[in-house]
């Protein structure tokens, strides 16, 4: 049984540049990686290495301080700095800077396991925790916490293979080229949650991935691979839950409150690497695309690789980009310099040409047409949220449930006045958090 979620839009997909390009290895490894200590929801990790230390691939360099996931070296070499560095989010954050020795030496602690079939649910959760795995398609919630909190509570596992953002094809290529990791990693999560069935939701613009994963599941029938009608933001977990199960997650509630647990396909592939190969999360697949780059492509790169290096792998710019975005055009963040580096949840470096991103200089006055209300998948009223936020009337803004806004960009996409609504809402949410802290 398939259901429809409220709202949503149908932006141009623009995936043609990379959807048929296999995942490529870096032609040239980065000479230096800058690994942020905050790559997840929760407190930043505490560095456990110092300047001058030698590190190996997979060695822990950041330990958790509360809610979080440990961080590991993505290259072998020498730590040359432990200091604040710019991040793709636009604010400085503590980072460990490693000078690559190009020897690719792996920590002796990272070795394949022979006993994967006998692992208990708790042992799987512990492995996921120690591997530093987080959500790789969204906010970066620590995966071991998500699994632990859903034990005995969730009855449905959903894997997000929708990849609904325009331009991005990293998950699509992962499902086609490393589908065995996705299926096997999912079965480890099923064992951890002690559930015997799961769903994989994939939009129907990726039918080759649907067919491939169905063939890998075979006759076992413990995993249902669902082809979903393409609609943005179907990859958001609340919308994906409603689309597959018909259950609606109430405001301020979590998927586990309606018996569901959602993971990205990249996350379950990382679970496979951790459980079977003993390898922490040190690299990921990323799409480098947009009309401003010469050779759009899908890459696998070590965490901490700079955007500048990734753009060089795509043979540089055809023209000076109008905007470079970390992520997709709907929910991504514009970066102000290419020195920033990729993290666990970075799935795309999008380099938009002036034709693709003409700017917002022709912004007009809101006429309250309510198109933004019609497309908001969270049943909010962006027109009034914007009105009160502009006037800094924070109590009224909060009463309109602005904190439930997931910043998907549907309202801004549909707005005929070209008002930068998402930026307004991000600013308002920041102000409300500051006020809550003062109280």
> Are residues 190 and 244 located together in one domain of the fold?
yes
pTM over 0.75: yes
> Are residues 293 and 260 located together in one domain of the fold?
yes
Which of 359, 383, 408 marks a domain boundary? 359
Residue 69 included in any domain: no
As separate numbers, helices (DSSP H) first and strands (DSSP E) second, the chain gives 13, 17
> Are residues 331 and 393 located together in one domain of the fold?
no
Residue 364 included in any domain: no
Q: Specify the pLDDT at position 438.
A: 85
> Are residues 256 and 122 located together in one domain of the fold?
yes
> How many Å separate Cα 209 from the centre of its chain?
19
Residue 297 is part of which domain span? Answer: 1-26+108-359
Which of 333, 359, 385 marks a domain boundary? 359
> How many Å separate Cα 107 from the centre of its chain?
26
Q: Do 35 and 61 meet the contact criterion of CB atoms below 8 Å apart?
A: yes
CA distances 393 to 84, 106, 163, 364, 426, Å, are 34, 54, 36, 22, 15
> Are residues 283 and 380 located together in one domain of the fold?
no
Q: Is the dihedral of CA 430, 436, 437, 438 positive or negative?
A: positive
3-class SS at 199?
strand
Provide the terminal-to-terminal Cα distance of the chain, rounded to the nearest Å: 46
> Are residues 292 and 406 located together in one domain of the fold?
no
> Are residues 347 and 375 located together in one domain of the fold?
no
> Are residues 348 and 431 located together in one domain of the fold?
no
Q: Specify the pLDDT at position 1.
A: 43
Query: CA-to-CA distance for 34 and 12, rounded, in angstroms?
Result: 34
Kind and range of the H or E run holding 310: helix 307-313
> Are residues 286 and 421 located together in one domain of the fold?
no
pLDDT tens readout for residues 328-347: 999 999 998 999 999 999 99
3-class SS at 248?
coil
> Are residues 140 and 256 located together in one domain of the fold?
yes
Residue 299 included in any domain: yes
Other CB atoms within a 10 A radius of the CB of residue 276 amount to 17
pLDDT tens readout for residues 33-53: 999 999 988 889 999 999 999
pLDDT tens readout for residues 166-204: 999 999 999 999 999 999 999 999 999 999 999 999 999
**Number of domains composing the chain:** 2
Residue 413 included in any domain: yes
Residue 421 included in any domain: yes
> Are residues 353 and 397 located together in one domain of the fold?
no
Which of 327, 359, 391 marks a domain boundary? 359
Residue 57 included in any domain: no
CA distances 180 to 159, 185, 186, 265, 371, Å, are 14, 8, 10, 11, 42
> Are residues 254 and 389 located together in one domain of the fold?
no
pLDDT tens readout for residues 393-430: 999 999 999 999 999 999 999 999 999 999 999 999 99
User: Nearest CA to 366 among 424, 294, 299?
Assistant: 424
């Amino acid at each position: 049984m398939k259901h429809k979620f409220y709202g949503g839009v149908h932006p141009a997909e623009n995936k043609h540049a990379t959807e048929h390009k296999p995942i490529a290895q870096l032609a040239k490894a980065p000479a230096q990686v800058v690994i942020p200590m905050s790559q997840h929801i929760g407190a930043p990790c505490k560095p456990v290495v110092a300047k001058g230390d030698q590190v190996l691939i997979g060695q822990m360099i950041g330990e958790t301080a509360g809610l979080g996931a440990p961080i590991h070296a993505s290259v072998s070499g020498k730590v040359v700095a432990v200091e604040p560095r710019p991040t793709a989010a636009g604010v400085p954050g503590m980072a460990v800077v490693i000078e690559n020795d190009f020897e690719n030496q792996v920590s002796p602690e990272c070795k394949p396991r022979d006993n994967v079939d006998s692992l208990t649910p708790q042992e799987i959760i512990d492995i996921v925790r120690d591997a530093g795995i987080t959500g790789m398609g969204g906010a970066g919630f620590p995966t071991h916490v998500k699994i632990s909190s859903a034990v005995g509570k969730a009855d449905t596992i959903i894997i997000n293979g929708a990849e609904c953002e325009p331009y991005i094809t990293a998950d699509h290529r992962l499902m086609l080229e490393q589908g065995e990791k996705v299926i096997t990693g999912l079965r480890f999560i099923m064992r951890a949650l002690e559930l015997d069935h799961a769903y994989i939701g994939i939009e129907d613009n990726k039918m080759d991935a649907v067919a491939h994963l169905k063939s890998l599941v075979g006759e076992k029938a413990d995993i249902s691979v669902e082809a979903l009608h393409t609609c943005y933001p179907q990859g958001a977990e609340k919308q994906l839950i409603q689309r597959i199960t018909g259950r609606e997650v109430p405001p301020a509630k979590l998927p586990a409150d309606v018996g569901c647990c959602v993971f990205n396909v990249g996350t379950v592939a990382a679970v496979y690497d951790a459980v079977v190969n003993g390898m922490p999360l040190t690299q990921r697949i990323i799409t480098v695309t947009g009309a401003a780059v010469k050779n759009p492509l899908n890459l696998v790169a070590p965490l901490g690789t700079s955007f500048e290096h990734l753009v060089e792998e795509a043979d540089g710019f055809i023209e000076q980009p109008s905007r470079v975005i970390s992520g997709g055009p709907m929910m991504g963040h514009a970066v102000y310099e290419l020195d920033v580096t990729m993290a666990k949840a970075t799935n795309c470096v999008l380099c938009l040409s002036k034709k693709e991103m003409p700017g917002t200089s022709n912004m007009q006055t809101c006429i309250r047409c309510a198109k933004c209300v019609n497309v908001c998948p969270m049943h909010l009223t962006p027109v009034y949220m914007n009105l009160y936020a502009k006037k800094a009337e924070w109590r009224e803004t909060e009463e309109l449930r602005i904190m439930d806004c997931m910043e998907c960009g549907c309202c801004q996409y549909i707005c005929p006045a070209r008002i930068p609504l998402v930026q307004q809402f991000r600013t308002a949410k920041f102000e409300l958090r500051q006020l809550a802290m003062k109280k």
